[in-house]
A and B are shown apart, each in its own frame.
Chain A
Amino acid sequence: MKRPLVGWNLSTPSEPAPAGCSLFTRQPYAGSVTTSAQTGAQAGASFDDVTSSDSSLRRFLHGLPGVDQVGCEARAAGLGTRSIKTTAKAHAIDLAIRMVDLTTLEGQDTHGKVRALANKAMRPDPADPSCPATAAVCVYPDMVATARQTLGVLGDSGGPAVKVAAVATAFPSGRAALDIKLADTRDAVEAGADEIDMVIDRGAFLSGHYLQVYDEIVAVREACARPDGGAAHLKVIFETGELQTYDNVRRASWLAMMAGAHFIKTSTGKVQPAATLPVTLVMLEAVRDFREQTGQMVGVKPAGGIKTTKDAIKYLVTVNETAGPDWLDPDWFRFGASTLLNDLLMQRTKMTTGRYSGPDYFTLD
């Protein structure tokens, strides 16, 4: 299986970890990992045996180390007690803003609403030009053209390069025939989506038809190709609230990474529970281990239910102390969120002015 580069900018091999017990030293093993295309292709090839049949894929996924629920949740809770203050908080808020996929996925969405959202994504705080833009706007496929038009073609306007992400593949349930899912994907890509957020077939996954899920991801990824030779980046949504167990989350993570996902994403936001810290922790462990084994980095996107700056910072701490600082970048970690952005902006204003502003001082969409 040949796989192209993962992500937009592969991190350069990190330097040897400097002395100091801080969390921010690079993980000692990251230094030995090379993220080159060549390694990637070789690594991809090593999964050919695994994905050659349903039974071998099942053996591999069920052979992954188990996740102890109590221990996993305790670790996530422990990471949640980190106290991030002053300069560290200011840095985290800006980083979190840059990681937001500003999302609207409602039946009642209008073109006007999407235009407003896209404008907000480029200038989240119109009063403060130092406020960074969000990573992307995330919309349904029929809104991609509108978002694209508002945001301009990436990089050509000199303005902030906010990407357009589109949910596809019969989002959120994924209950449609494969050709419809692929058509949905191609449609979004043609309309100018930079990123496709697909959903896996949870029914197939839960009944153990892992190869079917795998093949579908591979097919969607192929449908992400653009005529100019490029391709939209693929985020694979597991809907972890439906997968239920952490063991399933770990298996789904490996399945999607082997199938070529650029990002693995927790939830659609339409099912409760959506993103949780322990689920994200398990996914971060998976991308960390995947890089150890293959040299390739895969991004992680928790989505749904992350509403406050405090929550967002807990996620960033978890990224920092689990996958490592290499993932503290919008290319490798995103928040799928809508209301989170305003809380980040409110906290950001508080950090600079020392005062909280009322909600009316921040735009609603």
Chain B
Amino acid sequence: MVSTGSTTDWTYAPAPESRGIVDIKSSYGLFVNGEFVDGTGKSFKTISPSTEEVLAEVAEASEADVDAAVKAARRAYTRVWSRMPGSERAKYLYRIARIIQERGRELAVLESLDNGKPIKESRDVDIPVVAAHFFYYAGWADKLEYALPHSMGSGADQQPLGVAAQVIPWNFPLLMLAWKIAPALAAGNTVVLKPAETTPLTALLFAEICQQADLPPGVVNIVTGAGATGQALVTHPDVDKVAFTGSTAVGRAIAKSVAGTDKRVTLELGGKAANIVFDDAPIDQAVEGIVTGIFFNQGHVCCAGSRLLVQESIADDLLERLKRRMATLRVGDPLDKNTDVGAINSAAQLARIRELSDIGDAEGAERWSAPCDLPTKGFWFPPTVFTGVSQAHRIAREEIFGPVLSVLTFRTPHEAVEKANNTPYGLSAGVWTDKGSRILWMANQLRAGVVWANTFNKFDPTSPFGGYKESGYGREGGRHGLEGYLT
């Protein structure tokens, strides 16, 4: 025996990222025509969902404010941005990308504060992918004649659309901004963007970055606000393009409101992705993939693998392994570098998750939550799995948008495909098997925009992303992402 007594109790000490790196002002105006201006409307508070502490007061853009922003965007479009050679536009985008990298830590801390997501994710996923998007689309700005299939190498001039109205969700605030703004600007459009009302702060810091990069005034305008602001923006008559990411219900309302106009629309909406695990899957990595699929970003991911379809012959073993792994997830302070699962973004979202989980109980599914001490303040939900779920259960059909996994079983590949496709959504899917041929076959059968094989929730600017059916239309990312911003 060694001399020191055996002590196996090893607790990780708190490892908080410093909050001091970011300056949060007490109040923010709107970013219009390259300047921060006071709104003419009311204001609202944005809070940190992990503590319910008020972070800042933010202007709620009125119809008049939105109009001013669209006018600024139009002016910048006709006078500056659409006339500028692509190679010059690229310089601004590269500059923005570099500033994002330089201020990455600041952006990551602010994102975690305002959104509730763990710093590990904002630092290692959100912000690096944001910078990567700007770098990627910067490269396209002077190569647009190769962007569309019919124009490939023809030398045909690709024209931007004009002013893009962009409305983004709260789950990846800065990343969704990048998905929207980077291709729009590369293609020569100007934008008016409305961040979600619960997560406006990184968009406003991005506005500062636009100033720092000397981006011509009016090319990027940020209007904060809630549903009414968004409505005013997408219905504004001088908008040429509407791009929305968010819930299917709002997406449907937007589609209705722009119907009959000549506005181009792309919608990236909800999902209820199947993560399909076959009996020959690499089991330990499949467990990791299931965890990444549903607990990444607290499950606030439109492409989350929220339905686990597992082959019956390995279901018990897989679930034991999954639960054991879930028990090691660290839920808590988003700024702690060792936190795996952060706070639910808002009280409203928490209520929705609770409601659907209670419905799961009532429908007879069996609930298991990882044993956690949840903080008393803020909005929290433990990582949860429902077993004994059938296709008829609401928790198998509706998007919960939280850390809640529904487990179903299948016996044959055909049954897996049938169940996976039996949903109004079609955004993403995952396949876990050691058989390459089965991966290819499954990918052809699955009606989902993205099919991941032996991985899940991987994002790359070069890869197009978008859905089937109620998950929306249009593609973002990759060369395809330019199609929505060119004519």
A binding-site residues for B, Cβ under 8 Å:
8-9, 17-25, 27-29, 65-68, 70-72, 74-75, 81-89, 91-92, 94-95, 98, 132-133, 135, 155, 160-162, 285, 316, 320-321, 325-326, 328-331
Tell me which residues across on chain B come within 8 A of A82, comparing CB atoms. 12, 337-338
Q: Is the CB of B4 within 8 A of A94?
A: yes
Any A CB within 8 A of the CB of B281: yes
Closest residue to A285 on the B side, CB-wise?
A: B284
Q: Is the CB of B15 within 8 A of A83?
A: yes
Q: Is the CB of B324 within 8 A of A28?
A: yes
Contact of B285 among A71, A81, A89 (CB under 8 A): A71
B binding-site residues for A, Cβ under 8 Å:
1-4, 6-15, 120, 124, 280-285, 288-289, 320, 323-324, 327-332, 337-338, 370-373, 382, 434, 454-455
Given A88-B10, A132-B2: A66 in contact with B434 (beta carbons within 8 A)? yes
Q: Is the CB of A83 within 8 A of B330?
A: no
Q: Top 9 closest A-B pairs, CB basis?
A: A71-B285, A21-B372, A83-B15, A68-B282, A83-B337, A68-B285, A65-B283, A88-B13, A160-B3
Contact of B371 among A17, A81, A84, A161 (CB under 8 A): A17
Contact of A19 among B12, B285, B371 (CB under 8 A): B371
Q: How far is the CB of A117 from chain B (nearest CB, A)?
A: 17
Q: How far is the CB of A298 from chain B (nearest CB, A)?
A: 17
Query: What separation, in Å, do the CA atoms of A86 and B372 have in the docked complex?
Result: 24
Q: Is the CB of B373 within 8 A of A20?
A: yes
Tell me which residues across on chain A come within 8 A of B13, comparing CB atoms. 84-89
The A-B contact count (CB < 8 A) is 133
Q: Is the CB of A66 within 8 A of B282?
A: yes
Q: Is the CB of A98 within 8 A of B2?
A: yes
Residue from the set B1, B323, B372, B382 with the largest chain A CB neighbour count within 10 Å = B1
Query: What separation, in Å, do the CA atoms of A330 and B284 have in the docked complex?
Result: 26
Q: Is the CB of A321 within 8 A of B8?
A: no
Q: How far is the CB of B100 from chain A (nearest CB, A)?
A: 21
Tell me which residues across on chain A come within 8 A of B330, comparing CB atoms. 21-23
Tell me which residues across on chain B come within 8 A of A330, comparing CB atoms. 2
Q: Is the CB of B382 within 8 A of A21?
A: yes
Q: How far is the CB of B209 from chain A (nearest CB, A)?
A: 26
Contact of A24 among B1, B2, B9 (CB under 8 A): B9
Tell me which residues across on chain A come within 8 A of B324, comparing CB atoms. 27-29
- Provide a sorted-by-A list of 29 A–B residue pairs whose CB atoms are within 8 angstroms: A18-B371, A19-B373, A20-B372, A21-B373, A25-B371, A65-B280, A65-B282, A65-B283, A65-B284, A67-B284, A67-B285, A68-B282, A68-B285, A71-B282, A72-B285, A75-B285, A82-B337, A83-B337, A85-B15, A89-B13, A132-B3, A132-B4, A155-B1, A161-B2, A285-B284, A320-B10, A326-B8, A328-B8, A328-B10
Tell me which residues across on chain B come within 8 A of A86, comparing CB atoms. 13
Q: Is the CB of A161 within 8 A of B8?
A: no
Tell me which residues across on chain B come within 8 A of A94, comparing CB atoms. 4
Query: What separation, in Å, do the CA atoms of A328 and B281 have in the docked complex?
Result: 29
Query: What separation, in Å, do the CA atoms of A90 and B47 have in the docked complex?
Result: 36
